[in-house]
Amino acid sequence: MSDKPLIHQIKDLMNKNRNAELIKDENIQKQCLEQVLIIYDKLSNNGQKRVKNELYVAHRNLGSLYINEEFEKALHHLELAKSLSSYKNENFFNKCNLNRLISHLKMKIGLKEDSKDQLAESRNINNLLLSKLDKISLDQLKNEIMSDKLILDAIEKGDIKTIIEFELPIPLFIKDKYPIEFEINGIKYTLEVEIVENPLFVKCPNFTEIMEDKYGLANRSKIKLTIFRYIDPNKRIKISTFSEKECILYILSEAINAINYFIERYRIISGNYWVETVFYNMISEFSSTIMAGDHIIRNIPINMDQLIRCSPNPPWLSDLNIDNLDKYLRKEEIILWEILLLDAEDFLLRRNYREAIYAINGCFENFLMIKAREKLKKSWDDKEVEDYLNGSPVYENFKLKKYLSEDLFNQAVSNKDIFPYVPSTFQILKKCNEIDPSKVEIKELNRLVSKIRKKRNDIMHGVEIAEDLEKLAFEAIKSFKEFTEVF
């Protein structure tokens, strides 16, 4: 294909870009300029020389378009623009503006990645611009260069803070907007709480509250949390739940961890046992501001991190589920392990990891006893099964029976020289597998049980655990589900 039609396409795209710029349609601008770069690569060397200015404008403008969200991509385009011959023909003001953008981006990337090299490069460019400040006539550009200097000064002093504001559906009565300071792992936090009345609640002439207002029916809390370090507002981290949501914004996760640290201690001091710790679905939206000294680096006035589904109809129960619900409603009692499994998954969703581990281990014990009885009854009568599970001394199950006759064994039991011995979980699994083999080898069953019970005793006895409790709880629940399918 000859260069002529390709060059015509580039010219046409640049015109579309200018029209999109007039109506402030950044998406169309990005599409046009990215397409220019693709077509440019298809040109011959001579063809590329004919549109070298269009290439420069495409990179320069893309850098400006990506500057607020995709720092690395913006910097890539601006540095490419600066390396092109067309940059040399730019006027003094445009060169200063482009270099100021590069300096600003290197500052943001340096802060985001904790890169001293990027911050040093930002400082060098900023110093160069400061040396030319008296030649710059535009006040806005002057102010931006000076602002970058002050931000870099604040970064060097460690004067960085991330401010997150949101509402919680629980009232935390402290003092109105009274700053509470605390530290977690060497990081300083400041918390301010403002009580907000629910507009739907019927009020008395004076302050009105519902006692034990667990769900904020009368009053809510407006939270302002200041974290004295930089947090990337776009960074996402994986979470372990059995919902469809797999990631959460790191800035929200850090805010939740801090507010829960506070709530756990607030409950003890206030005696408000009904106050719940927070998880992400309790926060409908939040704002975040990152500051260096008194200067705002980044401000996101509204942010949401909810998993939202749109569908033509509500998620009604299927006919099959309605039938099953009718059957369950006829049952006066529900199998305990089914309730505890749901509790464990709910605790995990709400980030209450210890409670999730308690619940799933209670769930496992209940399930095991039910299924073990079913398996053992395939070879034993009811009394034999109960004697075995309750640890009643039975000669057939006695480990040392080859050294002791049955008569002497019975005499020892009567004399209480041999005590009841409840079999361990692994012994029960082995015995069940002998009578009614599982779908997997006993080694695999034992592995799943070990994952379910990992650190269980330490957690139940209040021992501080260095391991990731979220991972322990998730793996325990996941392993239990696998266990129910193969045992």
* CATH code where residue 11 lies: 1.25.40.10
Last residue of a domain, one of 257, 288, 303: 303
pLDDT at 54 over 70: yes
Counting the structural domains of the chain, the total is 3
What pLDDT is attached to residue 151? Answer: 96
Judge if 141 and 92 occupy the same domain. Answer: yes
Over residues 13-35, the mean pLDDT reads 95
pLDDT at 399 over 80: no
What pLDDT is attached to residue 409? Answer: 85
Beta bridge pairs of residue 194 = 222
Over residues 193-199, the mean pLDDT reads 88
Over residues 32-52, the mean pLDDT reads 94
Last residue of a domain, one of 260, 282, 303: 303
Judge if 283 and 238 occupy the same domain. Answer: yes
What pLDDT is attached to residue 188? Answer: 97
What pLDDT is attached to residue 420? Answer: 82
pLDDT bucket at 131, cuts 50 / 70 / 90 = very high
Q: Which residues of 37-61 are buried (b: 16+ CB within 10 A; e: fewer)?
A: bebbeebeeebbeebeebbbbbbbb
Cα-Cα-Cα-Cα dihedral of 414, 382, 359, 431, to 10°? Answer: 80
Judge if 122 and 64 occupy the same domain. Answer: yes
Identify whether 434 is part of a domain. Answer: yes
pLDDT bucket at 213, cuts 50 / 70 / 90 = confident
pLDDT at 263 over 80: yes
Identify whether 30 is part of a domain. Answer: yes
pLDDT bucket at 200, cuts 50 / 70 / 90 = low
Whether residue 229 contacts residue 187, with contact meaning beta carbons closer than 8 Å, is answered with yes
Mean pLDDT check: name the lowest of 140-154, 356-370, 404-418, 443-457: 404-418
pLDDT bucket at 467, cuts 50 / 70 / 90 = confident
pLDDT at 113 over 90: yes
User: Is 451 exposed, middle or buried (CB count within 10 Å of its CB: 0-12, 13-18, 19+)?
Assistant: middle
- CA angle 71/73/77 to nearest 5° reads 115
What pLDDT is attached to residue 293? Answer: 94
Looking at the chain, the whole-number percentage of residues with pLDDT higher than 90 is: 77
Whether residue 307 contacts residue 243, with contact meaning beta carbons closer than 8 Å, is answered with yes
What pLDDT is attached to residue 1? Answer: 62
What pLDDT is attached to residue 331? Answer: 87
Mean pLDDT of the chain: 92
Identify whether 317 is part of a domain. Answer: no
Whether residue 303 contacts residue 289, with contact meaning beta carbons closer than 8 Å, is answered with no
Q: Which two tokens stand for residue 236?
A: 């996402």
Identify whether 474 is part of a domain. Answer: yes
Judge if 191 and 85 occupy the same domain. Answer: no
Q: What range does the domain containing 146 cover?
A: 3-157
Over residues 179-184, the mean pLDDT reads 96
What pLDDT is attached to residue 201? Answer: 65
Over residues 288-306, the mean pLDDT reads 93
Judge if 150 and 171 occupy the same domain. Answer: no
Task: Please identify which residue in the block is written with the tokens 């939740």.
Answer: 256
pLDDT bucket at 235, cuts 50 / 70 / 90 = very high
Q: Which residue has the higher pLDDT, 414 or 237?
A: 237
Identify whether 444 is part of a domain. Answer: yes
pLDDT bucket at 405, cuts 50 / 70 / 90 = confident
Q: At what angle do helices 353-376 and 382-390 cross, to 10 degrees?
A: 140
pLDDT bucket at 366, cuts 50 / 70 / 90 = very high
Over residues 255-282, the mean pLDDT reads 94
